[in-house]
Amino acid sequence: MELVIAMLISSVVISLTYKTYSIYIGLYGQYKKGTSRVEELSLLNKLLTTDIRNCERLEASSDGFVCKSLRNTVEYTLNEEYMIRKCIITDTFHIRILSSTLFWKDKEQTIPQQPASQIIIEGLSDSDTINYNFTKWYGSDILIQINQ
């Protein structure tokens, strides 16, 4: 009798243990996915900030925009499913682009290879909408060049 009770209780304990383990591994997976998403968005923010600040000119392109400087060029390709950053290596950011607009002197800039001073990107990551807004601060030397 004692053996039966012991076996019953032991089966409960073992299944409880297994359930605990499976819950925890599920939470772990969810957590990892969530943090990867925030990291990716945060890294994208940092890269956009750096590239736009360091470039000499920000230009529109047919499928995104380009940060041009003498030393290197960084191309951003915007897609409905993802965003690609091409520099020395290519990075893909899994953010769905809802809209992206470039401006030059408060007017929308759509012509490729034409300069831009502001950019707004609206993205969707799972069900969260994230907005990226940047302004390129030009020196008068570049403004004079563009104005010519």
Partner 1 sequence: MNKIRAGALFIVIVMALVIGILCASIMTISLYHQMHVSDNRLYTKLDDNVNSAVNMLLSDRVALYRDTSYVIDLFKLEEDSVFITRKRWGILESASVSAFSRGKKISVDFLYGYELSSKDSTVLYVPDLGRPLSFSGTTVIIGNCKLPASGVKRGNIEGEYFSGTQLVQGKVSTSTKNLPAIQEKTLTRLLSLLKGDSTSMYRRIGKLVYTLDTDTLINKFSDTTLVLLSQGTGLGGKYLEGNIIIYAVDKIEIPQNLTLKDVLIIAPYIRIKNNVQGVFQAFASDSMIVEENVVCNYPSVLGLMKTDFHVQQPYIKTGSNFKFSGIIFSYQNVSDLSQTLLSMGEKSEISGEIYANGFLELKQGTVVKGQVTCSKFYLKTKKAIYENNLLDITIDKTALSPYFVGSSLLISNTPKKIIKWLER
Partner 2 sequence: MAGKITNSIRKLKASSLIEITVAMVIITFIFTMAFSIYVRVIASDLSISEFKMVKKLDQLSWESKRDKRFISEDIIENNYTIEKKITTDSSNSKLLLMELTAYDQDQKIVAQKKELIIE
Q: Tell the smallest beta-carbon distance from residue 62 to partner 1 (Å).
A: 27
Label residue 32 left, alpha or beta by phi (over 0 means left) and psi (-120 to 50 means alpha).
alpha
- Residue among 2 and 137 whose Cβ is closer to partner 1: 137
Helix and strand numbers (H, E) in the chain are 2, 9
- 139 contact, one of partner 2, partner 1, none, CB 5-8 Å limit per kind: partner 1
Q: Is 27 in the site for partner 2 (CB under 8 A)?
A: yes
Residue 25, binding choice from partner 1, partner 2, none, Cβ under 5 to 8 Å by partner class: partner 1
Q: Using the rule CB under 8 A, which residue among 22, 24, 46, 50 binds partner 2? A: 24
Classify 136 as helix, strand or coil: coil
Would you give the DSSP letter of residue 115? B
